[in-house]
Homo-oligomer: A and B are copies of this chain.
């Protein structure tokens, strides 16, 4: 730390460090990059007249997603929320069940649980991965649940805890080893909310491929986008078939008859959106390189500052660095709001993490463990401009 930075406010130092990496503002938090075949494939899609729920781009996008992630199957859907909803249903989550989800997550994770008539049960996070704290969760489950007929029962509510949905926060892989062991030991279905982690690997295996199913998002703010979109990843062929069936109104194949054998959903990704996705996926490796380069530039620019660090990928992991993140030291947490205000005022869009789920009105009465870790993190996290095109 040099003399000058010591005399400037931390907020001013943060602005200077961001500016050193991204240049003059205004700079958004994350914007997509369309540097490849996006325009071409959209034209091809229009020329084919297949813009809706069937078409070659949907099939191709699914095949290429599966190949890229190493999942046996990918089912392209209308968005990541829909993917979570269907994955939960297929995992057997029923009305009155509980599902373990991180308190520190975008609201979609908890919302999807409620779409099944189930109740989110909030889990604490730890600071290395920003995701579920496996050790603390194990101790909590040991104390508060019991096994009955191979089901995990919440002693306080009497309800079945059916599944656990870890989320890879800002692209950083969660402690999958610890959580898979918990899922095994407590008879929970593990579904990975990999909405933020396309291109992120845990011990050289792509996130979203460890549990029963994983879900992706291709919203406009994600590493690659289809406008709106999502996918289910799974290695289970029967689940993949069920996912496709449920998301296409549960219609049985027939040239002209309309037989639907269960309550289905209209959740398929349109071919138009898949066309965009195919072009985006071609550029994913270059985008990931660019995002990693942005991380290293930030790491260098912020190194002289006292009171914060740039969040780096966890050990044994490769992060996609979707959103670059500052983590303030505990002693500097009270400066978060000043930094948010100053950076946004200066034209550099920054953002805190989400409001913790249990603080939202619709979830305030849901069961939860002690959330001290998440509460500390949420006071100290700041996302900073992260587009892959920043230094392209």
* Interface set of A (CB-CB < 8 Å, partner B): 31-32, 34, 38-39, 42-43, 46, 49-53, 78-82, 106-108, 111, 114, 117, 219-221, 225, 227-228, 249-251, 255-266, 268-273, 276, 340, 344, 350-352, 354-355, 360-362
Contact = CB atoms under 8 A, between A and B. Distances in A.
Contact of A38 (B46, B255, B259, B263): B46
A270 B221 CA distance: 12
Contacts of A43: 39, 42
Contacts of A262: 361-362
A11 B49 CA distance: 30
A78 B228 contact: yes
A79 B273 CA distance: 14
Copies in the assembly, this chain: 2
A360 B273 contact: no
A280 to B, nearest CB: 10
Contacts of A228: 52-53, 78, 266, 268-270, 273
Q: Is chain A's binding surface mostly helix, strand, loop or mixed?
A: loop
Contacts of A271: 220, 227
Given A257-B355, A259-B355, 5 more contacts: A51-B276, A81-B265, A228-B266, A228-B268, A256-B350
Nearest to A82: B266
B362 A260 contact: yes
Contacts of A227: 51-52, 270-273
30 contacts: A31-B49, A32-B51, A34-B46, A39-B46, A42-B43, A42-B46, A50-B220, A51-B227, A52-B221, A52-B228, A53-B219, A53-B228, A78-B228, A79-B266, A81-B265, A82-B266, A107-B260, A117-B117, A227-B270, A228-B268, A228-B269, A228-B273, A255-B344, A256-B344, A256-B351, A258-B355, A259-B360, A260-B355, A261-B360, A262-B361
